[in-house]
Amino acid sequence: MWFKERKGVKVGFSYALDDDFYLSLTLDKFSSNDERWGMADFKIGNDSWAAFKRENLNFEDSYESDGREKGDYLRIITTHKAILTVDKRDMYIMAIEVATAIDGQIIEDDKETWLSIEEFKAKHADLLHLTYDEAVDISLEELEVMEAVDEPLWDELHKGWEEYIAIHGERVYDDEDE
């Protein structure tokens, strides 16, 4: 829950006073109650972030966003371009729930083709009709062959950070800020 104020009193947390909406949802498979994930090998190479252990689904205006929408659109972004079936299923269900709540539309191709909720459901019916258990079974097989392909958005974000640091330098922390 998020409140700017509760019963006439401002909430004391700084993030609650922020007008920018931010939501990040994660299915952490390793700590889930499904014992099948306990045997899975999520690690890909030496990069601890290049893994399918969890997928963070973030809404537009989060710090990962490229900031193009500025609140006009609600965009869901993921860590990788290719994600496990269980994560894709969850993401589609979440997109439908959010679009339904705000009476919106859904897009998958960078604002080229807008789909109604019913059109989106029909397009992805095969995935949406899977049960969680079926999606996990498929995902466990995918783990054996799937490679983590980073979302290009992350490269753009990292390039922006590097450009900022080149211009402004690294942030200097006071002892109290550490």
* Separation CA 39–CA 140 (nearest Å): 9
- For 31, list phi and psi in degrees, rounded to 5: -100, 10
178 residues of the chain, pLDDT tens digit each: 344 555 566 655 444 445 555 556 666 665 566 777 766 666 555 555 445 555 655 555 544 444 554 445 566 666 666 778 888 898 888 888 888 887 888 888 767 888 899 999 999 999 999 998 899 899 888 888 876 665 566 677 777 778 878 887 776 666 665 5
* Separation CA 24–CA 2 (nearest Å): 13
Contact 25, 57 (CB under 8 A): yes
Q: What is the pTM of this model?
A: 0.59
* Separation CA 168–CA 152 (nearest Å): 24
What are the sequence ranges of the domains in the chain?
Answer: 20-177
Let me know if 41 is exposed, middle or buried by CB neighbors in 10 A (0-12, 13-18, 19+). Answer: exposed
